[in-house]
Amino acid sequence: MIRLYDTMSREKREFVPQNPDRITMYVCGPTVYGRAHIGNERPAVVFDTLARLIRHEFGADSLIYARNVTDVDDKIIAAAEAEGVGYRVITERYYKNYMEDMGALNVLPPDFEPRATAFVPRMIDMIQRLIQGGFAYVAEGHVLFEVVNDPEYGALSRRDRDAILAGARVEVAPYKRDAADFVLWKPAGEQAEQVALSFDSPWGRGRPGWHIECSAMIEAFGTRNDAGHIETIDIHGGGLDLIFPHHENEIAQSRCAHAGAPLARFWVHNGFVDMGAEKMSKSLGNVVTVNDLLTQGHRGETLRLALLSAHYRSPVPWTNKLLDQSKAVLDRWYRALGKLQLARPEVRLDDKETIDVFVEESGLLDDLNTPGALADLSNVASVILGTDLNILSDDDATAMGSTLRGGANILGLLHQQPDDWAKGRVIEVDIADGIAVGDALDARIEAKIAERAKAKKSRDFATADRIRDELKAEGIVLEDGPSGTTWRRE
Ligand SMILES: [Zn+2]
């Protein structure tokens, strides 16, 4: 039984889905106007891990996981105007970059990935229902949600009116009845890209506000009850910073459009990635992107493990030490896996019963305790490395192998072959579906090894040693064995 901390009730509760054959989870995705930083990527990794756990517990086809793409936004228009390009150039470029990051982090594509631009008619429909219900009003080409008409407003963030006004940094605008009211629709504006990224509506050409986007897209994949209303989804996720105002506003819109039905049964929020004493954020200018880190030579799997090293609700302090430790952990795990595969090639690595025991005992079911699970996996790796595997019973070998490989796979880790990891092979990302496909880029090293073997054969030891030293300088260690020379990265 999975237990999850629900931000709405401020308590950990048993996760009992409404329909275990059709569990619904929605997570707020990227706004595609710039490279995402590692803090932006944390929810993608956290909820990908939760999705893997749900599928393990309830079945491979039990979950419908939706993660949207915000491709209508003032920041997109500003980026397009600044570069002098069409908005689509911006959104396509950064969507592609995002999918590359997802591939590097081994984040599986969601089942449903709605783009805001494809759901504007549904947003307009929802806004019309809110106006008809008396929850929204039209003023000077804008449509605004009237917060005072929703008595439950503020329940998620537990804010009173003063805190709402402070937290939303609301502008007092002449067309607003109240400063706390928020935008559902706004007029297009005059700039070329504002006009280009606008849509016809009953209130003139314009574009939707950010919050209505998620409410409308959740409608698009939720199931309907007998009365035709959208059923409450099981899990709504996102970063802590979205609790207010974004999720508070999503809740208000959806509940008022759905005759009071709550939007989600569980509100799950992940903590920040911290740089020093501060949260990593674009506005503070202390960001590091996945692309920066990969360019520096870190591998996607190392980044994923680093992101999972803290409990998802706690901050992750982002340091070089964390990256070094994460790499060292993976080195050990892969060494243990390689040792086991070499000594006992017949052993299964996916025994379901074993993996069930791991999931049960590791604490993963208890609000996704990933630090506990990582510690358990490291313990198994240590046992494997310290054991003579040839005298191990089949059952014990299967239990160790399935815990290590099968357990790590639930966290989206240890999905490579030990040899590929040791050689630091670069995994290329197939952008078409966001799934990483392995591709070895080490032909150059193999060629050097062949050159060295040739030199040794002709007793040119000076050349052979030079090649070995050159590779060593690049961090490539050669190991001569009975069946030839193998190599690994230091
Ligand atoms: Zn959202």
- The series of mean pLDDT values per 10 residues for the chain, 490 residues long, is 97 96 96 94 98 97 96 96 96 95 95 95 96 97 96 92 75 86 96 95 96 94 68 94 96 94 96 89 87 92 97 96 96 96 94 96 97 97 95 96 97 94 66 38 73 90 92 84 76
**Residue 413 Cα to ligand 1 middle (Å):** 28
Name which of 478, 475, 358, 443 is nearest 408 in CA terms: 358
The CB density around residue 313, as the number of other CB atoms within 10 Å, is: 15
Supply the pLDDT for residue 230. Answer: 66
Supply the pLDDT for residue 433. Answer: 43
**Residue 22 Cα to ligand 1 middle (Å):** 21
**Residue 401 Cα to ligand 1 middle (Å):** 40
**Residue 59 Cα to ligand 1 middle (Å):** 27
Q: How many CA atoms, within 13 angstroms, populate the side-chain half-sphere of residue 276? A: 7
Supply the pLDDT for residue 321. Answer: 94
The CB density around residue 463, as the number of other CB atoms within 10 Å, is: 14
Supply the pLDDT for residue 227. Answer: 63
Supply the pLDDT for residue 353. Answer: 96
Sorted by sequence, the CB contacts under 8 Å of residue 422 that are 6+ apart come out as: 334, 335, 338, 488, 489
> Strand 316-317 relative to strand 273-275: parallel, antiparallel, unpaired?
parallel
**Residue 68 Cα to ligand 1 middle (Å):** 8
Supply the pLDDT for residue 439. Answer: 38
Percent of the residues in the chain that have a pLDDT greater than 70, as a whole number: 93
**Residue 239 Cα to ligand 1 middle (Å):** 10
Supply the pLDDT for residue 278. Answer: 86
Q: Determine the straight-line distance between the first and last CA of the chain, rounded to whole angstroms.
A: 41
What is the pTM for the complete model shown? 0.88
Question: What gap in Å lies between CA 186 and CA 203, rounded to an integer?
Answer: 9
Supply the pLDDT for residue 160. Answer: 86
Supply the pLDDT for residue 324. Answer: 95
**Residue 362 Cα to ligand 1 middle (Å):** 31
**Residue 32 Cα to ligand 1 middle (Å):** 14
Supply the pLDDT for residue 17. Answer: 95
**Residue 14 Cα to ligand 1 middle (Å):** 24
**Residue 28 Cα to ligand 1 middle (Å):** 4
Amino acid at 388: D
**Residue 192 Cα to ligand 1 middle (Å):** 27
Supply the pLDDT for residue 487. Answer: 80
Question: What gap in Å lies between CA 462 and CA 455, rounded to an integer?
Answer: 8
**Residue 63 Cα to ligand 1 middle (Å):** 19
Name which of 228, 253, 227 is nearest 236 in CA terms: 253
**Residue 214 Cα to ligand 1 middle (Å):** 5
